[in-house]
Amino acid sequence: MTIPDDDSTKRKRWTHLRRVLERAGPFKDPNFEPSTELLSGIESVRILIIGAGGLGCELLKDMALMGFCRIDIIDMDTIDLANLNRQFLFTKTDIGKSKAEIAAKFIMNRIPNCNVTPHMNKIQDFDASFYSQFRIIVCGLDSIVARRWINSMLVSMLQYDENNQVVPTSIIPLIDGGTEGFKGNARVIMHGYTSCIECTLDLFPPQVNFPQCTIANNPRLPEHCVEWVTSILWPKEKPFGPGVNIDGDSVEHIQWIVEHATKRANEHNITGINFRFTQGVVKRIIPAVASTNAVIASICATEVFKLATSSVLLMNNYTMFNDIEGIYMLTYPPEKREDCPICSNVPVRVQINETAKFQELVDQLIEKYQLIAPLICTQIDGQSKTLYMTSTQQMLELTKPHLRMTLQELGLTNGIEMLVGDPARASSMRVIISLTSSMETTTAK
């Protein structure tokens, strides 16, 4: 049973939205023209939601109730019991099933006329032709790598005019949200106009890594004991057989870690090891509550609605939220980096000593651009040459010896351009080497 899809019912149903679509006001976007057509305009806008987790469930509901009817949602994950305290489109009977599929089904049942297409995939499974179908892309991810990947994908799809300016029609706005406990952030990214994910990598909290000597010799906190078990004892003892890696969701695995971490803790007079704590350290669990997800997703959804309708001005363009002590929200535009390796559209330059080994260059690139497993190619005398590649065993063996060679030996001369690919990027980055003489660097030091 459902409501008729005729025009007058539809108009009645969306009265709330129509007031801001069919009337103008002093806070409208300069491009806004109030119209009765806008409502059906929203219906035809294609939206892509990336992630069907805490933010994704909220986003799907919010978008559907803001009048959007053509939504795609991507998530490769399946539903887990620990999701249910916030991922409200799932119930206990859905555990183990695809998040994207169950979320889509729930929304289409609850909100007839809304079409949701689920994709149980990784974002990397799709190419530019897939992403170019959408007017707006919204992200509710917990992975920084995935964010960087989609960011660089959208940049690679941009077109530039003769003055190297982004052609506005080639921009697919990216709305990105993130939460951690009672804190969250949301932003609107218009490549070429605002800062992008890569411009502001330092906005993400740094990963906590304990020094090796603390883990091995000087544990002080319970987490040091857990890390000792996972990084030293597990590889040594192989408690579940050779080649079996730690599964943070396996009760047996965690119990084994708890047992041995407790032993180590007791030996050192350290307290505080228990199952929940241990699993938290092993899985690097980020706490999450329903309310923060609701808040951050709603900001994203409001901005998508504004982008699609121009009914009021967009936010500018990054907002931080926190509701631990009172409620706090600050919005500001982070600076767009002129030398951003992703969105600046100019090759980046790397300075390196002419006598350096290739390893030093790789290390510098990894550190400077936070790469994960770079693939480096170049053209020498018109011949393309793979300098470094780790994704297959064969190529790793072939290119590993390069690390110990000098740049000169490899034929990397001053001003040569390399292409650097990485799992965190959908497209390669152009890097130009500028060699410094050993004299200069010594004096600089």
Partner 1 sequence: MSKSSIPCTKQIQYDRQLRLWGDHGQRALESGRVCLIGANALGTEILKSLVLPGLGSFTIIDHQLVTIDDCGSNFFVHPSMIDQSRARVTCELLTQLNPDVHGIYIDKPSIDDLLQQNTFDFSQFNVVITANLSINTLNILARHLWILKIPLLVARTYGFIGTIRLQVFEHYVIEVHSDDTIPDLRLDRPLITFVNYCNSIDFKSLTREEHLHLPSIIILFKTLQLWQEQYNSKNLPQTRLEKDEFRKILDQLLHHSAYDTHDKEKLLENFEEAKRTIPSRLVKTHLPSTIKDLFQDRSCLELSHQTNLFWFVIHAIKLFTENEGQGLLPVRGEVPDMITNTISYIKILKIYQEQATKDCEIVNKYFFDLLQKYNRLPDECIIACDLVETYCKNAAFLRVLRTTAINSENYLIDETESNRSWYTCLHLCDLFYEKFRRYPGEFLSDETQFETDLIDLKQINRKLDSGKDLTSDSKQKFLEELCRYGASELHSIAALIGGCCAQEAIKLITHQYVPIDNTLVYNGIEQSINVFKL
Residues with active-site annotation? 213
- Reported as half-sphere exposure (CB side, CA atoms, 13 A), residue 233 has a value of 19
- Of 25 and 235, the one with the shorter C-beta distance to partner 1 is 25
- Please list every residue from 185 through 244 that binds partner 1, using CB under 8 A: 186, 214, 217-221
By CB under 8 A, name the one of 146, 258, 282, 307 that touches partner 1: 258
Report residue 26 as tokens.
């002093």
Among 82, 128, 372, 398, binds partner 1 (CB under 8 A): 82
For the CB of residue 244, give the shortest distance to partner 1 in the complex, in Å. 20
Q: Which of residues 26-65 bind partner 1 (CB under 8 A)?
A: 26-27, 58, 61-62, 65
Q: What is the spatial distance between Cα 390 and Cα 395, in angstroms, rounded to a whole number?
A: 6
Residues in 89-128 that interact with partner 1 by CB under 8 A? 91, 110-112
Q: Which helix (H) or strand (E) holds 386?
A: strand 383-388
Return the SS3 of 389.
Answer: coil
Report residue 360 as tokens: 């030093």
Question: Who contacts 423 (Cβ-Cβ below 8 Å, separation ≥6)?
Answer: 145, 149, 372, 373
Considering only 97, 121, 142, 182, the residue that binds partner 1 (CB under 8 A) is 182
Among 137, 141, 175, 301, binds partner 1 (CB under 8 A): 301
Binding mask 238-257 for partner 1 (x = CB under 8 A): -------------x---x--
State how far the Cα of 140 lies from the Cα of 57, in Å rounded to an integer: 9
List, in sequence order, every residue forming a beta bridge with 331; answer none if it has no partner. Answer: 319
Amino acid making up residue 146: A
Q: Which C-beta is closer to partner 1: that of 67 or that of 140?
A: 67
Tokens of 424: 């965190």
- Give the one residue of 312, 348, 410, 416 binding partner 1; rule: CB under 8 A: 312
Task: For the segment 263-282, give every residue that binds partner 1 (CB under 8 A).
Answer: 268-271, 273-276, 278, 280
> Is 445 among the residues that bind partner 1 (CB under 8 A)?
no
Q: Does 324 bind partner 1 (CB under 8 A)?
A: yes
Name the CA radius of gyration of the chain, rounded.
25
Using CB under 8 A, which of the segments 162-170, 236-244, 262-270, 412-420 binds partner 1?
262-270
Tell me which residue of 298, 250, 293 sits closest to 275, measured CA to CA: 250
